[in-house]
């Protein structure tokens, strides 16, 4: 067996199934953070050579098509993605727009059924769900996923309990599609490590949130920059009963100290406020609850969050009151000391990853040469 030829062009070191299938220069994906991943952030990501997802879950239904058009006009095509959830009232609109504009990909968590996935495939739209457990990755591929993003427990927002270093090898060994690693990534060394393990690239949320291209208000960004201890970016169950990683703040402390009834009242008030802001009908809201109970009683807390989380996020991520809402974040926030542009972030990560991989190939070459000399001397 012969070893594959060592790439001589540094750009070839970062050429993966992700860059080939998503059509981006670097295997770096910007995830769809609610109230953060707007058209401007996706445009900045795309122009810098990465691949960005619009946060369809928090973009007003009446403005979603305009956001898609804005990205397409600024980047010269449909080489970006849309994230959505099937429990959204405008989920059908998201599906139709992704197909109509021939977007390169869609991402989702609790995702569409086989029929909808088949529609995407027929239109050439790649399906890239995000999962936090091995069994969910296997199920997603069975349903037709083209690629899988695994999010380790280090990641922000709703997250599993398995670290990326354990989850990534498990999923790589179990599924036949390209795997993207997320959760704990913000550097070129991290990208190089993921590629060396067999991943097709990395996906980052917090790193893109903490950029000068992010729409996040300055007071909230300052709160993210203030974090210098990964333990202060911790998991709480208080919001919806599910694992939710975020930065500690007075609101979370108050929520955790509240009684079950107190938490319910906070959730109901937030859900009702979200209903008024989005125009969601009471019938649809109740229908979502009934459907969740019918399909999976254990998912009701997630359904509650679908109404509750947007308002809590909006308070911090849109209105700029970081201590009065929630601050979803990966633990990498503690390792980020300044805001940079998407271009600087992506190019810096790519350059560092290339250097790491080039050094690895150089060591492999040196080792091969040494072994060859030993063999020659042994024969002589």
What integer pLDDT is reported at residue 292 of this predicted model?
Answer: 52
Structure tokens at 268: 């109901």
Comparing 218-232, 253-267, 299-313, 327-341, the range with the smallest average pLDDT is 299-313
What integer pLDDT is reported at residue 366 of this predicted model?
Answer: 78
**Chain segment 291-303, per-residue pLDDT in tens:** 655 655 444 444 5
Q: Is the pLDDT of residue 89 over 80?
A: yes
User: How far apart, in whole angstroms, are the C-alpha atoms of residue 68 and residue 97?
Assistant: 8
What integer pLDDT is reported at residue 371 of this predicted model?
Answer: 72
Burial class (CB in 10 A: 0-12, 13-18, 19+), 377: exposed
Q: What is the mean pLDDT of the chain?
A: 88
Structure tokens at 345: 């972030």
What integer pLDDT is reported at residue 276 of this predicted model?
Answer: 59
What integer pLDDT is reported at residue 297 of this predicted model?
Answer: 47
Q: What pLDDT band is residue 215 in, cutting at 50, 70 and 90?
A: very high
User: How far apart, in whole angstroms, are the C-alpha atoms of residue 230 and residue 214?
Assistant: 22
Q: Is the pLDDT of residue 140 over 70?
A: yes
Q: Count the Cβ atoms, other than its own, within 10 Å of residue 337.
A: 8
Comparing 9-13, 214-218, 253-257, 270-274, the range with the smallest average pLDDT is 270-274
User: How far apart, in whole angstroms, are the C-alpha atoms of residue 133 and residue 343?
Assistant: 32
DSSP state of 179: E
What integer pLDDT is reported at residue 358 of this predicted model?
Answer: 93
Nearest to 144 by CA among 127, 123, 165, 125: 127
User: How far apart, in whole angstroms, are the C-alpha atoms of residue 345 and residue 331?
Assistant: 17
Q: Is the pLDDT of residue 153 over 70?
A: yes
What integer pLDDT is reported at residue 300 of this predicted model?
Answer: 46
Structure tokens at 87: 């429990």
Q: Do residues 78 and 72 make contact, with C-beta atoms less than 8 angstroms apart?
A: yes
Mean pLDDT, residues 194-203 = 98
Residue appearing with tokens 């999010």:
151
Q: Into which CATH architecture does domain 26-214+339-361 fall?
A: Alpha-Beta Barrel (3.20)
**Chain segment 11-57, per-residue pLDDT in tens:** 789 999 999 999 999 999 999 999 999 999 999 999 999 999 999 99
What integer pLDDT is reported at residue 364 of this predicted model?
Answer: 84
Mean pLDDT, residues 147-175 = 97
| Higher per-residue confidence, 144 vs 278 | 144
What integer pLDDT is reported at residue 294 of this predicted model?
Answer: 60
In the chain, pLDDT over 90 holds for what percent of residues? 71
Mean pLDDT, residues 156-181 = 97
Mean pLDDT, residues 124-140 = 97
Distances (CA, A) of 259 to 262, 266, 317: 5, 11, 26
Ranges of each domain in the chain? 26-214+339-361, 222-332
Half-sphere exposure for 243 (CA within 13 Å, toward CB): 15
What integer pLDDT is reported at residue 290 of this predicted model?
Answer: 62
Q: Is the pLDDT of residue 193 over 70?
A: yes
Nearest to 209 by CA among 222, 199, 190: 222
Q: Which stretches within the chain are classed as H helix?
A: 10-13, 17-22, 39-47, 61-75, 91-100, 114-123, 134-143, 164-174, 188-197, 206-209, 218-226, 250-257, 260-278, 282-295, 300-317, 342-379
Mean pLDDT, residues 172-185 = 98
Mean pLDDT, residues 143-148 = 97
What integer pLDDT is reported at residue 269 of this predicted model?
Answer: 67
Comparing 113-117, 235-239, 274-278, 316-320, the range with the smallest average pLDDT is 274-278
The residues facing 180 across adjacent strands are 149, 201
**What is this structure's pTM?**
0.87
Structure tokens at 128: 């890239």
Burial class (CB in 10 A: 0-12, 13-18, 19+), 113: exposed
Q: Do residues 114 and 145 make contact, with C-beta atoms less than 8 angstroms apart?
A: no
What integer pLDDT is reported at residue 113 of this predicted model?
Answer: 93
């Amino acid at each position: 067996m012969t070893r594959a030829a060592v790439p001589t062009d540094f750009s070839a070191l970062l050429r993966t199934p992700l860059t080939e299938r998503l059509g981006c220069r670097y295997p770096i994906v910007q995830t769809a953070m609610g109230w953060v991943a707007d058209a401007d952030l996706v445009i900045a990501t795309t122009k810098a050579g990465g691949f960005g997802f619009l946060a369809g879950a928090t973009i007003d239904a009446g403005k979603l098509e305009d956001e898609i058009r804005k990205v397409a006009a600024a980047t010269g095509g449909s080489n970006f993605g849309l994230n959505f959830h099937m429990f959204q009232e405008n989920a059908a609109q998201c599906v139709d727009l992704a197909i109509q504009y021939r977007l390169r990909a869609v991402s989702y968590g609790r995702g569409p059924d086989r029929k909808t996935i088949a529609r995407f495939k027929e239109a050439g739209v790649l399906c890239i769900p995000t999962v936090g457990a091995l069994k969910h990755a296997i199920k997603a591929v069975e349903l037709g996923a083209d690629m899988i993003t695994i999010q380790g427990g280090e990641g922000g927002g709703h997250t599993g309990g398995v670290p990326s270093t354990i989850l990534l090898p498990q999923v790589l060994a179990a599924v036949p599609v390209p795997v993207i690693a997320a959760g704990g990534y913000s550097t070129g060394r991290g990208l190089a490590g993921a590629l060396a393990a067999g991943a097709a690239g990395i996906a980052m949320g917090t790193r893109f949130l903490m950029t000068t291209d992010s729409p996040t208000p300055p007071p909230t960004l300052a709160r993210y920059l203030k974090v210098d201890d990964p333990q202060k970016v911790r998991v709480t169950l208080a919001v919806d009963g599910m694992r939710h990683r975020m930065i500690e703040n007075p609101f979370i402390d108050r929520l955790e100290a509240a009684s079950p009834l107190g938490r319910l009242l906070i959730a109901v008030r937030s859900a009702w406020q979200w209903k008024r802001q989005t125009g969601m009908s009471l019938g649809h809201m109740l229908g979502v609850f009934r459907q969740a109970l019918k399909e999976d009683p254990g998912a009701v807390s997630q359904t509650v969050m679908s109404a509750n989380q947007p308002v809590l996020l909006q308070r911090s991520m849109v209105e700029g009151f970081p201590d009065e809402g929630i601050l979803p974040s990966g633990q990498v926030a503690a390792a980020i000391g300044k805001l940079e542009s998407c271009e600087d972030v992506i190019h810096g990560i790519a350059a560092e990853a290339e250097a790491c991989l080039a050094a690895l190939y150089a060591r492999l070459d040196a080792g091969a040469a040494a072994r060859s000399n030993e063999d020659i001397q042994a024969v002589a």
